[in-house]
Amino acid sequence: MNRKPTNIQIPSVYKYSILDDLSLIIEYYQGDFTLESVKELTSKIINDPKFNSNCVFIIDLRLTYIKMSKEDLYNCGVWVSKNLKLTGLARLAILTSNPEQVVASMIYTLNDHFTNHHYEVFSSIEATTSWLNINSNHNTFIHGLINNMYTPPKHEY
């Protein structure tokens, strides 16, 4: 007898990858997207020996549920601007898949603490890599890397 899941829970996952050869850091979020999750993952990135302040970022929020108020988004921006010291282009591309994510991303990017960070919101990897000046020959690799960060939902019976 095949039982169907009664509840599907998308696990909260916060992962990153540093691609030295592309000067790229990919942040991957899945499930609940909170102020604490941003602080946790950003702290890991900053403390990684491979971290390079000249890198550009892709921040993938496509499988998240935004769990931040406007105040949380503002405080997140304050925290990131104080702790993530970037040089060079300081470009951060945010990948989204629904209007809620776009709105939260836009509120976040309007934070006046981001005088040295340039954020843009996109819906495709191709658009992000183009804006970040990454050769499109790397798009398949980047797609694969992000797909490997995905963690399947847990089913409760």
pLDDT at 8: 65
Q: What is the CATH number of the domain that holds 133?
A: 3.30.750.24
Residue-wise pLDDT tens digits, 26-47: 999 999 999 999 999 999 999 9
106 within some domain: yes
pLDDT at 154 exceeding the cut of 90:
no
In a domain, 6, yes or no: no
Domain annotation covers residue 115: yes
9 in a structural domain: no
The C-alpha atoms of residue 93 and residue 4 are separated, in whole angstroms, by 38
Instruction: Note down the domain range covering 58.
Output: 14-152
Pairing of strands 24-33, 13-19: antiparallel
| Mean of pLDDT over the chain | 87
Threshold 0.75, pTM exceeds: yes
Domain count, the chain: 1
- As a three-state string, the secondary structure of 56-79 is EEEEEEEEEEECCCHHHHHHHHHH
pLDDT, tens digit (0-9, with 9 covering 90-100), for 67-105: 999 889 888 888 888 888 877 668 999 999 998 888 888
Residue 2 lies in a domain: no
In angstroms, the CA 110 to CA 157 distance is 43
| Residue 52 placed within a domain | yes
Domain membership flag for residue 8: no
Angle of CA points 63, 132, 92, to nearest 5°: 55
2 pLDDT exceeds 70? no
CB distance 37 to 29 below 8 Å = yes
